[in-house]
């Protein structure tokens, strides 16, 4: 059977310098093993599969796979999947607001003039990282006490730990370990120098099934968690722009804004670069 797919560039500032996503459309006939096999074969950070919604409020349902496991939620797969769904002719039921169903629940996505933005989901874990976990994170990043300003849980599906450094230069200078004996999902952020086209620099690191460390080019879920933490702490003041991917020769931009009701929205540009069919 053949399944259509799109390759989407997400959070890009210039083409081919965002975070790539493969979106498999009309995947209702595909089983878990086939989804995981495709995600493993492509070896992108995530691959998504679009299905008919199970909940009446949703426009479509998405399943999100890394090369090793399924995620309940992730940011760039949310925007890229929504983009592919609309490119395939999807029409939202509620004006300019799309409702995505995923394992984490219902996620609202808004259409802007030239980008999409998702409503940052509530944190599933927050608060300071302390004790042995703090030391593990510091050792992984090569930091000594006093090198970081704060360290907090910002989990919203992925179990992100956020680390605030003094500035963007310190973020870019990090040389983390290439292997980790413990599963890690770590995001680092620091303020940019004045005159930059963004307010913060972000980097994201996670370990694979073999303990190898991967740096993600541009990460929506992490930026959503960081925005909630830093806005609550008075460190960040939306609207603002976060840059990510510079250490990977990428040029990602994440746009954070705050609605009148206090809801944070995480936005970015999306664009289909290729399409085709998987023949299984």
Catalytic residues: 46
Please tell me whether residue 264 adopts helix, strand or coil conformation: strand
Q: State the pairing for strand pair 150-155/125-128.
A: antiparallel
Q: What are phi and psi of 5, to 5 degrees?
A: -145, 160
Separation between Cα atoms, residue 174 and residue 216, nearest integer Å = 14
The residue behind tokens 């760039």 is: 76
Please tell me whether residue 108 adopts helix, strand or coil conformation: strand
Alpha-carbon Rg for the chain, nearest whole angstrom, is: 18
Separation between Cα atoms, residue 164 and residue 148, nearest integer Å = 6
**249: which DSSP letter?**
T
Residue by residue, DSSP assigns 20-48 as: EEEEE-SGGG--HHHHHHHHHHH--S-EE
Closest residue by Cα to residue 7 from 203, 271, 211, 212: 271
H-state helical runs in the chain: 32-42, 75-87, 131-141, 168-173, 220-232
Closest residue by Cα to residue 21 from 10, 11, 13: 10
**246: which DSSP letter?**
G
């Amino acid at each position: 059977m053949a399944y259509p797919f799109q390759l989407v560039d997400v959070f890009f500032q210039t083409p081919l310098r965002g975070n790539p996503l493969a979106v498999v459309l009309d995947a209702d006939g595909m089983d878990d093993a086939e989804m995981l096999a495709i995600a493993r074969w492509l070896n992108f950070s995530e691959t998504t599969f679009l299905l008919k919604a199970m909940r009446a409020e949703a426009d479509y349902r998405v399943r999100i796979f890394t090369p090793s496991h399924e995620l309940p939620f992730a940011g760039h797969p949310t925007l890229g999947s929504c983009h592919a769904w609309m490119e395939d002719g999807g029409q939202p039921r509620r004006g300019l607001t799309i409702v995505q169903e995923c394992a984490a629940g219902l996620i609202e996505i808004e259409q802007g003039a030239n980008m999409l933005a998702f409503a940052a989901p509530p944190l599933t874990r927050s608060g300071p990282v302390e004790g042995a976990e703090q030391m593990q994170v510091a050792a992984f990043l090569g930091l000594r006490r006093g090198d970081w300003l704060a360290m907090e849980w910002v989990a919203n599906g992925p179990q992100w730990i956020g680390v605030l450094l003094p500035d963007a230069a310190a973020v870019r200078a990090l040389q983390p370990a290439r292997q980790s004996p413990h599963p890690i999902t770590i995001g680092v952020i620091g303020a940019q120098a004045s005159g930059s086209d963004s307010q913060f620099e972000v980097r994201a690191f996670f370990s694979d099934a073999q303990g190898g460390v991967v740096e993600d080019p541009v990460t929506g879920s992490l930026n959503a968690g960081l925005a909630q933490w830093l806005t609550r702490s008075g460190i960040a003041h939306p609207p603002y722009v976060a840059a990510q991917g510079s250490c990977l020769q990428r040029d990602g931009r994440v746009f954070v804004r705050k609605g009148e009701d206090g809801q944070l929205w995480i936005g970015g540009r999306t664009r289909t670069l290729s399409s085709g069919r998987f023949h299984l």
